[in-house]
A and B are shown apart, each in its own frame.
Chain A
Amino acid sequence: MKTQFLMTTTALVVTFGAVAQADTLRLLTWGGYAPEEVVAKFEEQTGHTVEVTKSNNEEMIAKLRATGGGGFDLAQPSQDRIAGPQAEFGIYKPMDLSKIDADLFIPSMLEATKGNTTVGGDVYGVPHIWGTSGLVVDTAQAASVKDYTDLCNDDVAGKVSYRLKRPTLIGFAFAMGEDPFAAYGDPAKYEEVMAKVEEALIACKANVKTYWGGGDELMGLVRSGEVVASMAWDTGGWKLNEDNPDVTFLAPASGALGWVDTFALPAKGKADDVAYEWINFVMQPEVAAMITAAAGNFTASKGADEFASDELKARYQASFPPEAIDNIKWYPPVPAGLEVIEGGVLDRVKAAN
């Protein structure tokens, strides 16, 4: 009865479009960031509808670039991938911070993200979900793997995997004693660092079973036992840990790589107010905890940790002793044009025999 009433109201509102109380929010996000129950709760409370499109960093930017920032009302790129594409393609619009309830956020994370996503004095992003990438290791079979470069050890030959993407380049650079983030501003120096990484990755290629492309592919490889050590996201490791206690996420000795996924408004978004409503809605501790349960990652919502399940907390603490948390390398904003250097390296690694 209630749904019928709701549907009638929605139909009425849609018919008299001028009322414009109920809008559609076209959300461009990652898998798990907008679980069905959260969407349903939001729709019930506000009367708006939410259309979720799942994607990843590169595809988000490519999609928004193709339309000049249209087609979506809210996007969730990582904080290091906002400033560069914004300067280059102008695909986002500045955030009106007065419309965001800052009290819902962990203050340090909010400030850091604001700083990293500032272009020309305007802030383009606020934090949502954070996590790390590091190593997923079957401790029973690959005990020697403690850092990214250990994936090239002889005792795990043919049984390792990683993504052929930029996190791998960065991770290997750190493990080899370089500091790629310090070289971000200096293309010549960065090229030098990347050349060393390229050499290492080519030498390591015989060790690799295959380069994984998506999370599900990695899960399949590790579950079947074909891969015993891989570079991966923390949540992937924790999910695998549920099935096989030997497999877990390991913060590498040189430091896990920390990322923060944000909220950013596409330049031609048509429902900014709904977007702000959505942000303030999902940052409430109880809702944020629902998202943590679905995505496996923690959010920037203040107080949501208390609602997280004990199992997840236990896994998190096992993977991250306090010193490993201090050692997390947070991605600084990627300057425009850096991808071209990395692209050349990745192409050559892929082509090497």
Chain B
Amino acid sequence: MKSGARLGLILLLTPLLLWLVLLILIPHVDMFLVSLRERVGVGEYQVSLANYLTFFQEPLYLWTFLRTAVMSIMATLITLLIAFPVSYFIAKIARGRSRSALFLLCLVPFWVSELVRTFGWMILLRETGIISNLLQWAGLVSGPVEMLYNDAAIMVGLVYTSMLFMVVPLVTTLESLPDEVIEAGYDLGGTNTSVMREIVIPHAAPGIVSGSIVVFMLSLGNYLTPTMLGGKDSLWFTELIYSQFIVRFNWELGAAFGFMLLLLSSLIVWGMLRLTGQTLERTMG
């Protein structure tokens, strides 16, 4: 009987283990080995840390990473600020069909691919685009305005792209907060702010943290949105990795960049968890 249960467990775990080992572990090990190679001549390589040194010695690469990280953190904060009231409304205020309808509205944009959504923003923001023409028609501006190809456009794109991933965990955690607890807060003389601060936000903390981690990672690893909306000034770290691999044939440096991205982003997430006094276990549990 016991060995039967064990066999069952092994069988159940096999797909997961295969997935993890074949698709995540082995490629990463291989990538790590590539990142340790240095090209010394035509088709000749030797083991060295030269690629990692390049990352730290060329200010451009470090600067690009910092820029990407800071912009991603900002995108996460903005997404949280916009998504929290929306989620609160969906979870606590809306009732019945309007609630499902609202949730569906958040979901609908994600039925089309990211590429199409980004194109949508390009049509809106470009010089000959809808917003520019609308402003001119209303007489608010005298000539066409270019709103594309700058950091603000990237930010808009990132926030829009990650909204759903913040709303879903927030709605789930807020739904698990009984209405009676909030009512009790008001009965005991709490104001809107104090109820929000003392009851709702602490309860929603795991949702906030898990949503923030997902949004941060998605923004940091996003390639399409910064490249398309940022244009000549996009400068995103994933773009550097892509160009090392595809345009420069420099897989070694690209692999080292990939590992630095993995390492530094994990470090940032860990630091944020420590800073806010949250743990990964609480967030996931």
B-binding residues in A (CB < 8 A) = 58-59, 61-62, 65, 85, 87-90, 158, 164-165, 205, 208-211, 213, 224-226, 336-337, 339-340, 342-343, 346-348, 350-351, 353
Contact = CB atoms under 8 A, between A and B. Distances in A.
Contacts of A165: 247
Given A211-B231, A348-B60, A351-B64, A61 B249 contact: yes
B247 A88 contact: no
A205 B248 contact: no
B227 interface: yes
A210 B247 contact: no
Among A58, A89, A205, the most chain B Cβ lie within 10 Å of the Cβ of A58
24 contacts: A58-B247, A58-B249, A59-B246, A62-B249, A65-B251, A88-B42, A88-B249, A89-B43, A164-B232, A205-B232, A210-B149, A211-B231, A224-B126, A224-B127, A336-B42, A337-B39, A339-B247, A339-B249, A339-B250, A340-B248, A342-B248, A343-B247, A343-B250, A347-B240
A226 B128 contact: yes
Contacts of B245: 62
A343 B248 contact: yes
Contact of B63 (A88, A213, A340, A351): A351
B249 A85 contact: yes
Interface in B113-158: 126-128, 146, 148-149
Contact of B232 (A59, A211, A224, A343): A211
Interface residues of B, number: 27
A224 B232 CA distance: 18
Given A88-B42, A90-B43, A224-B128, A210 B232 contact: yes
A337 B40 CA distance: 10
A339 B148 CA distance: 30
The A contact surface, by secondary structure, is helix
Among A58, A210, A213, the most chain B Cβ lie within 10 Å of the Cβ of A210
Interface in B53-85: 60, 63-64
Identify the 3 closest CB pairs spanning chains A and B, nearest first. Answer: A210-B231, A343-B248, A224-B128
A268 B74 CA distance: 47
A165 B247 CA distance: 8
A54 to B, nearest CB: 15
Interface in B67-107: none
A343 B244 contact: yes
Interface in B235-269: 235, 240, 243-251
B67 to A, nearest CB: 9
Nearest to A347: B60
A87 B249 contact: no
Nearest to B234: A350
A59 B149 CA distance: 25
B234 to A, nearest CB: 8
A337 B42 contact: yes
A67 to B, nearest CB: 13
A205 B246 CA distance: 24
B43 A225 contact: no
A88 B43 contact: yes
A61 B235 CA distance: 24
A213 B232 contact: no
A89 B251 CA distance: 12
Given A88-B42, A336-B42, A339-B248, A225 B128 contact: yes
A209 B149 contact: yes
A346 B243 contact: yes
Contacts of A90: 43
A343 to B, nearest CB: 4
Contacts of A85: 249
A351 B247 contact: no
A59 B248 CA distance: 11
Contact of A226 (B39, B127, B240): B127
Contacts of B250: 339-340, 343
A58 B246 contact: yes
Given A351-B63, A353-B233, 11 more contacts: A58-B247, A85-B249, A87-B43, A158-B146, A209-B232, A210-B231, A213-B227, A225-B128, A343-B244, A346-B243, A346-B247
A347 B243 contact: yes
